[in-house]
Amino acid sequence: MNLSKLRPLLLVPIFSALALSGCGTVESAAQQDCTSIGWNIGSPGYNDCYKARLYERKLDYSLPPGDKPSPSLL
């Protein structure tokens, strides 16, 4: 097989892996939210902030009441 035809096939999984590795967890995003506004990890204010942001982010990514997940096309 010609290398010029094989190269695009190799680039797709590489770029897909890079794109997915940029996605963090809901927990790490909540942690970053609280540390970015100045809370120190372990302080009482940080713990309250973390719990609140974690709850908000889980609500953001959850399905609305009554919705059923649809099959993915992937």
Give the pLDDT of residue 18.
Answer: 47
Give the pLDDT of residue 2.
Answer: 58
Alpha helices in 1-74 (DSSP H): 3-21, 26-36, 44-61
Q: 26-36 and 44-61 helices cross at what angle (nearest 10)?
A: 140
pLDDT tens for each residue of the chain, 74 residues long:
555 666 666 656 665 554 445 457 888 888 999 999 999 988 889 999 999 999 998 888 777 777 776 676 76
Q: Where are the domains of the chain?
A: 24-62
What pTM did the predictor assign? 0.54
For residue 53, the tally of other CB atoms under 10 A from its CB is 19
Give the integer Cα–Cα distance in Å for 6 and 12.
11
Give the integer Cα–Cα distance in Å for 25 and 22.
10
